[in-house]
Structure 1
Amino acid sequence: MFEPRLALASLSGRSDAEWARGAEAFAGAAFLGGIALDESTREAARAMVDRDREEFLPDDPVAFVDRQLAALGDADLRPGINVRTTSLGPLREVARVCADRNAILEINAHCRQDEMCDAGAGEALLRDPERLREQVEAAAAPDARDRGPAVSVKVRAELPGVDLPDIAEVVADAGGDAIHVDAMDSEAVIADVADVAASADLFVVANNEVRDAASVREYLAYGADAVSVGRPSDDPAVLRRVRSAVDEWFAENRGEMEA
């Protein structure tokens, strides 16, 4: 899906093309966004801004996504766009843009802000797997004739009543290509998700407190295919450490992975 196996995780209101450019020497992918696509999620984002959270609120979200991806057309990393929506029409529009730009479309089933969850987006999708399935299907095949972009779903662990391996099966069955797991304080959940992903050809990105060689090795040993860096994604010292650890781990384990 991308090389090297280090991604930058989206940070709402901060993760734009300029942010991605600042780390292209280290990362193989960068997830811009998140972007609220429809009126329900945009209303939620406006309410979040009113209480001092950062959000992207362009007049035309789809055009904004296209401009941002165009700005990374010659970047030495694969771009992705993290989006939140409750309706499928805007999701299909963005999926077409991502397909044209060879970008990953990431459905946000991760945001835990009350406004976004009340609208039915973010982690609310983890409690409603059939709606998540609909979004993945719409993103993966926005047009009847053509395959859409690579599709990732960003999820979080430690949500009561939600089984992430079951969610991984939903994502894979619906045509998704990757699951991006914020492990919270339950790092071993990556192993459970990876077990499902291995048989479903699903790429696993592990996230949360990825800062150094120890955190990288823990997640990759659990079976993750890649790791992502969140808040310190603009810190070259952290990115350099993580990239070095990723490269070393895959160099050491290449023979085992190819066997």
Structure 2
Amino acid sequence: MFDPRLAVASLSGESDAEWAKRAAPFVGGAFLGGIALDEPTREAASALVDRDRTEFLPPDPIGFIDGQLATLDDVDIVPAFNVRSVTLDSVTEAAAVCADHDALLELNAHCRQDEMCAAGAGETLLRDGDRLSEQVAAAADAGATVSVKLRTEVEGVDLPALAERLVDTGAAVLHVDAMDSEAAVADVAAAAPEAFLIANNGVRDRETAHEYLGYGADAVSVGRPSDDPAVLRRVREAVGEWAGDATREVSPDA
């Protein structure tokens, strides 16, 4: 999917094309966003801004995705856009734009903010496998390579079973926030071996990267410290070591 098997995936409203460019010397992939696509999720994002959270709220979210990805067309990374939606039409539109730029579309079934969940997005989708599968199918039918951002430790959700279902529906990538249940990554890997599995949460160094890779993850992603070159360099070296790739070194100027 991408090489090196390290991605950046930071906070909504902060993960834009310029952020991805800064990370590019260290990583193989960058997950931009998240961005609210439709009116229910945009209203939720506005409410988040009202309580001092950072959000992308451009007048034209589809145009924003297109412009951001165009900025990365010549950058040597695989870009992805994390999106939040409760309507299939907006997912289809965003997926078509991502496909045009050879980018992944990532469906957000991860956000646990009250406003976004009340709108029917984020973690609410994680609890509703039917609706989430419909979004996966719509995005795949529009030509996009589909990723789904998931989280562990959600009561009532059989994550391995859901992962298998999502892959059967068209998801190629599963991006799992392990929370405090790192070993759960192994269960997802066993249930959905066809997926490219990215493990997230607490990835900072050789120890944390190798733990997730040892559980069967194909790659890891760095979240909050994604703008820290020292962290990215450490993790880049760790995934290279795991892969036996000692020849691809990060430029000392990066």
TM-score category, normalised to shorter length: over 0.9
User: TM-score, normalising length from structure 2?
Assistant: 0.95
Q: Which deviations, in whole Å up to 9, do the C-alpha atoms of 1:114-154 show, x marking residues without a partner?
A: 00000000010111000000000001112xxxxx1110000
Which letter does structure 2 place at the counterpart of 1:171? Answer: L
Counterpart mapping for 1:26-175 below 5 A: 26-142=26-142, 148-175=143-170
Which letter does structure 2 place at the counterpart of 1:47? Answer: A
Report the equivalent of 2:250: none
Question: Is 2:10–2:226's contact at 8 Å kept on the other side of the alignment?
Answer: no
Root-mean-square deviation over aligned CA pairs: 0.8
For 1:240 and 1:195, the matched residues in 2 are separated by 29
For 1:72 and 1:159, the matched residues in 2 are separated by 34
For 1:205 and 1:174, the matched residues in 2 are separated by 18
1:12 correspondence with 2:8 = no
For 1:11 and 1:170, the matched residues in 2 are separated by 27
User: TM-score, normalising length from structure 1?
Assistant: 0.94
Question: Is 1:10–1:82's contact at 8 Å kept on the other side of the alignment?
Answer: no
Q: Secondary structure at the match of 1:22?
A: helix
Report the equivalent of 2:248: none
Shift in Å, 1:174: 0.8
For 2:154 and 2:222, the matched residues in 1 are separated by 21
Shift in Å, 1:42: 0.1
Instruction: List, as ranges, runs of 4+ consecutive aligned residues in structure 1 with deviation greater than 3 Å.
Output: none
Report the equivalent of 1:24: 24
Q: Which runs of 5+ in 1 are unaligned?
A: 143-147, 253-259
Q: Secondary structure at the match of 1:177?
A: strand
Shift in Å, 1:197: 1.7
Q: Secondary structure at the match of 2:221?
A: strand
How many residues in Structure 1 have an aligned counterpart in Structure 2?
245
Report the equivalent of 2:251: none
Q: Secondary structure at the match of 2:74?
A: coil
Report the equivalent of 1:241: 234
Shift in Å, 1:60: 0.3
Q: Which deviations, in whole Å up to 9, do the C-alpha atoms of 1:59-93 show, x marking residues without a partner?
A: 00000000000000100101000000000111101
1:194 correspondence with 2:189 = yes
Q: Secondary structure at the match of 2:192?
A: helix
Shift in Å, 1:10: 3.6
For 1:108 and 1:229, the matched residues in 2 are separated by 17
Q: Secondary structure at the match of 2:23?
A: coil
Q: Secondary structure at the match of 1:120?
A: coil
Question: Is 1:10–1:30's contact at 8 Å kept on the other side of the alignment?
Answer: no
Question: Is 2:19–2:227's contact at 8 Å kept on the other side of the alignment?
Answer: yes
Q: Secondary structure at the match of 1:206?
A: strand
Q: Which runs of 5+ in 2 are unaligned?
A: 246-254
What is the percentage of aligned positions where both structures have the same residue?
A: 66
Report the equivalent of 1:250: 243
